[in-house]
Amino acid sequence: MRRPIERLGLRVLGSVSELGRMGVFVGGVVRAGVLPRYRVRRFIEELYDVGVLSLAIICLSGLTVGAVLALQGYYNLARFGAEGSLGAVVGLVLVRELGPVLTALLVTGRAASAMAAQIATMVTTEQLDGLRMMSVDPLDFVVAPKAKAMVVAMPLLNALFIVFAIFGGYLVGVSYLGLDGGQYWSSLESAIVFGQDIAGSVLKSVVFGTLVAIIATYRGYTAEPTAAGVSAATTGTVVTASVAVLVFDYAITALWGV
Amino acid sequence: MADRAEVLDEFRIAVDGVHLSRAGRRVFQGLSCGFVRGQITVILGESGAGKSTLLRLIGGLTRPDSGAVRVAGQDVAALGHADLYRMRDRIGMLFQYGALLDSMTVADNVALPLREHSDRSETEIATEVARRLDSVGLPDAGPLYPRELSGGMSRRAALARALVTEPEIVLCDEPFSGLDPLNVRRIERLLVDLNQRLGLTMLVASHHLASSMRMAHRIVFLTEGRAVSGEPDRLADSSERAIVDFLAAERGDEVPAEGSTG
């Protein structure tokens, strides 16, 4: 009886100390991020890695998701004779829910995993220790620009995903299924409230960007300096960040109704 | 007996009663040794004896469980973040595989400490980088990325980076590992030349016995978590079991199996 309780206790203690380490890490990144030395060039390089290199997957996925949503929406709305509301359904679902969530999951798979692997490789090849020996703080030089780029890129990619998805919905709804184009746009415009839906979408994507940035950089930074450590950091980032995005999505929706 | 201040002055770096355990294994058990200013000290020992760990302790990258590591009188383990970074300005470190930042060119790698810690203009930095790369025999390597360098070139570029801020102490972690004899001699000559020209205090962790005997003023041999030190030409006279076995293995003689009491 004692053994399982001991094991549970150890696991709880382990989790609490892991959270503590993560808190110290986040504090260090935030402190480094607001230092007067903003490292604009490194930030732009990271923004390119996270943002520009994700454009193709975001645009293609957006287009496909919008098209599928329009198909599903059209057939279901037609059962109630409400196919004219297709634009509103596609827009609301994308802006409030699918845009931020799917963008975060796609960026996690493409950019956050690469970010974790890159930092973990720098740990393994002593590049971070090399920086420390040059009196350069790796949190300031490596981690903070990456984290900032993720937080900035996420809402922008979210916006792009939504735009392409709405266009995908238009292609299917109007060009393929024969809905009136004007009706598609007017129902979309009248359904979406800027202060609530758009602001909510931005809020979600900023929260998801912050979460994904913390998890990816922390996993990479604390990786074991071995090949297995790099692999574990990458896998751990994808799994943890994906679950965290879904859990926080529910929490934000439940708390603020966005 | 020498007075404490005198000892610290002679031994620019002093390790005092250091205990360190890692992953349930005792690496050092009361390790004490000193490194004389302006000399090349080679740290020898079997793989896993703690040679790299000793360098990391001196650089403040690893903290001991107990004991003190003093660099110029300051206990590295007791320093805060800012003081530790200030102390590291006086230390250059050459890592085993160079540890050059792979997202930057060699020139940017060498320029990095200057860009971070000096007010020099880009023109002055470029001139200094070219001079440093020239001094390690890599005058044309500036625009290359670390992945485009051979092992020996990588090590020399890393040495240029370690020296660009003109440190007083240089820590070299296995500078010869994985290199062909020609590159071993090149690096060895570079280190000796730097020591003679600039009077740098150099600590070289290595298991390359021939180079060590040629370049070292002193040898520190790590065995079973403690240090045995002396002049290189007295190494063969040692009755220490680990040193006798180490030298026998180098000669190609039979050595006792691992774990054997001999």
- Kindly report, residue by residue over B103-153, the tens digit of the pLDDT: 999 999 999 999 998 889 999 999 999 999 998 888 999 999 999 998 888
Kindly identify which residue of chain B lies nearest to residue A136, measuring between CA atoms.
B116
Residue B126 half-sphere exposure toward CB, CA atoms < 13 A: 4
The CA distance from A239 to the nearest CA of chain B, in Å, is 27
H-run or E-run covering B88: helix B81-88
Q: Which pTM was predicted?
A: 0.87
Nearest chain B residue to A135, by CA: B85
Question: Is B218 within 8 Å of B229 (Cβ atoms)?
Answer: yes
**Nearest of A42, A162, A34 to residue B103 by alpha carbon:** A42
> Residues near A226 by Cβ (< 8 Å), separated by ≥ 6?
A124
Beta carbons of B170 and B40 less than 8 angstroms apart: no
Q: Tell me how far CA of residue B217 lies from CA of B95, B201, B223, B239, in angstroms.
A: 21, 11, 20, 20
Q: Is the ipTM of this complex over 0.85?
A: yes
Cross-chain residue pair B100–A127, CB shorter than 8 Å: yes
- List of residues 6+ apart from A9 with CB closer than 8 A: none
* Tokens, residue A90: 């596609």
- B155-189 b/e with 16+ CB inside 10 Å = b? bbbbbbbbbbbebbbbbbbbbbeebeeebbebbbe
A1 touches chain B (CB under 8 A): no
Cα distance between residue B44 and residue A116, in whole Å = 36
pLDDT for A183: 92
- Taking CA–CA distances from A125, the nearest residue in chain B reads B99
Alpha-carbon span B137 to B156, nearest angstrom:
8
Chain B residues with beta carbon closer than 8 angstroms to that of A136: 112-113, 116
Residue B31 pairs in a beta bridge with B18
The pLDDT-based confidence of B253 (bands split at 50, 70, 90) is: confident
Element (H, E) at B120: none
Report pLDDT for A3: 85
pLDDT (0 to 100) of residue A60:
97
Gyration radius of chain A's alpha carbons: 21
Between the alpha carbon of residue A174 and those of residues A89, A95, A192, A258, the distances in Å are 14, 20, 20, 28
CB spacing of A134 vs B113 below 8 angstroms: yes
Return the SS3 of A82.
coil
Q: Which of residues 16-55 of A touch B (CB under 8 A)?
A: 45
Instruction: Give the pLDDT band of residue B261 (cuts 50, 70, 90).
Output: very low
B91 contacts A134? CB cut-off 8 A: no
Chain A residue with CA closest to B91: the answer is A133
pLDDT tens for each residue of B16-73: 999 999 888 888 989 999 898 899 999 998 888 899 999 999 999 999 999 999 988 8
- Interchain contact, B117 vs A125, CB within 8 Å: no
pLDDT for the residue B259: 54
Contact A135 B102 (CB under 8 A): no
- Residues of B with a Cβ under 8 Å from any A Cβ are 56, 59, 61, 85-86, 88-89, 91-93, 95-97, 99-103, 112-113, 116-117, 158, 161-162, 165
**Residue B235 has which token pair?**
């190494």
**What is the b/e burial string over A64-77, where b = at least 16 CB atoms within 10 angstroms of the residue's CB?**
ebbbebbbebbeeb
Rg over CA atoms, chain B: 19
Average pLDDT of adjacent 10-residue blocks, chain A of 258 residues: 85 90 91 80 94 96 96 91 90 95 97 96 95 93 95 97 96 92 92 90 96 96 94 96 96 86
How far apart (Å, rounded) are the C-alpha atoms in residues B243 and B45?
8
Best of B116, B118, B168 to disrupt the A interface (most A CBs within 10 Å) is: B116
Report the DSSP beta bridge partners of residue B28.
B20
Sort B66 into a burial class: Cβ within 10 Å, 0-12 / 13-18 / 19+.
exposed
Residue with the bigger pLDDT between A166 and B180: it is: A166
Q: Are strands B169-173 and B201-205 parallel, antiparallel or unpaired?
A: parallel
Instruction: Tell me the pLDDT of chain B averaged across its residues.
Output: 86
Which residue in chain B has the smallest CA separation from A133? Answer: B88
The C-alpha atoms of residue A226 and residue B160 are separated, in whole angstroms, by: 27
Give all strands (DSSP E) within A112-236, no chain letters: none
B258 pLDDT band (50/70/90 cuts)? low
The set of residues, in sequence order, having a beta carbon less than 8 Å from that of B223 and lying 6+ positions away, is B45, B46, B49, B240, B241, B242, B243
